[in-house]
Amino acid sequence: MERQADPGRAIAFVGLGNMGLPMALRLAAAGHTLTGYDVSDAVRDAAVASGLDVATSLRDAARDSAIAILMLPSSDVVDDVVLAQSLADALPSGALVVDMSSSDPLRTRALATVLAERGLRLVDAPVSGGVVGAVEGRLTIMLGGAEADAAEVEPLLAELGSSRRTGAVGSGHAVKALNNLLSATHLLVSSEAIEAGRRFGLADDVMLDVINSSSGRSFSTEYKWPVFVVPETFDSGFGLRLLVKDARTATTLARALGLPSRLGEAALALWEQAAQELSADADHTEIAKFAAVPDEDEASA
């Protein structure tokens, strides 16, 4: 007899990295029955040390879970976990998969169709707010999916931040990618502008004070530059290559819809160059270092 998921029962949380672990800990602290899982032994050990109940296999984490939350790097990893590693087979019929990863919206739609054929439901709920937002429960959550499914998961997501309904399944991932393309573009151009000001002799605090009270302000100048770039900590917790991936998802979506993304493609090309030149584990705020280095043609002029 087929097992039926009970919305009040356990949660499987897959992906316990920089974002996933604090999110899972918040849900557990709120009284939810939650079992975490990560493919990395070291990450699982860290989660256990933090007090989280962690399974040693994906199947054990998913067994009897009404909800499976995914916090993974990409659609490739999501598809691998859900299909190739058989998370879908381990979940009871009727379970709800909540993909909080930064996935490709077109692939999310395709995965939702596959899961529906197996008696499972999918909503996409990617987040913005970084590690600090995850720790403090102040994430912005972009929630896409059927009305009933979204309504079912909203009380759970309220423990993590504020959710915004975005439309049908895949719409949350679309908004997230487009948001991060904007974030990548204004952080890069802000870094270029502030570096030009530095070379002219302007002080960082003077520029940021003026910009943040003027039309050039953005989240990059109001938060990322003063918190991570000026003190040179570059420790936002969000990797440069992950932002490149999200920006590429946005420009790919635009192309698939027949829309030229000229500025987006230009910004993406520079971010991809930065990804090649900076360290493999570079934080995305280190784009400011890249912006401060002249091109070879300019340097030799």
Provide the annotated active-site residues: 176
CA distances from 289 to 84, 184, 225 (A): 39, 14, 12
Cα–Cα distance measured from residue 181 to residue 246, given in angstroms and rounded to the nearest whole number: 7
> In sequence order, which residues have a C-beta less than 8 Å from that of residue 31 and are 6 or more positions away?
none
Maximum Cα–Cα distance for the chain, whole Å? 75
Cα–Cα distance measured from residue 274 to residue 278, given in angstroms and rounded to the nearest whole number: 6
**Distance, C-alpha 125 to centroid of its chain:** 9
* Structure tokens given for 279: 């360290």
Q: What are the helix (H) ranges across 221-286?
A: 240-256, 262-277
Cα–Cα distance measured from residue 194 to residue 291, given in angstroms and rounded to the nearest whole number: 9
State the distance between the two ends of the chain, measured CA to CA, in whole angstroms.
75
Cα–Cα distance measured from residue 251 to residue 256, given in angstroms and rounded to the nearest whole number: 9
Q: Closest Cα to residue 161, out of 177, 175, 143?
A: 143
Determine the residue type at 88: A
Cα–Cα distance measured from residue 24 to residue 15, given in angstroms and rounded to the nearest whole number: 9
CA distances from 39 to 73, 81, 110, 282, 285 (A): 12, 10, 24, 22, 27
Q: Closest Cα to residue 139, out of 213, 237, 285?
A: 237
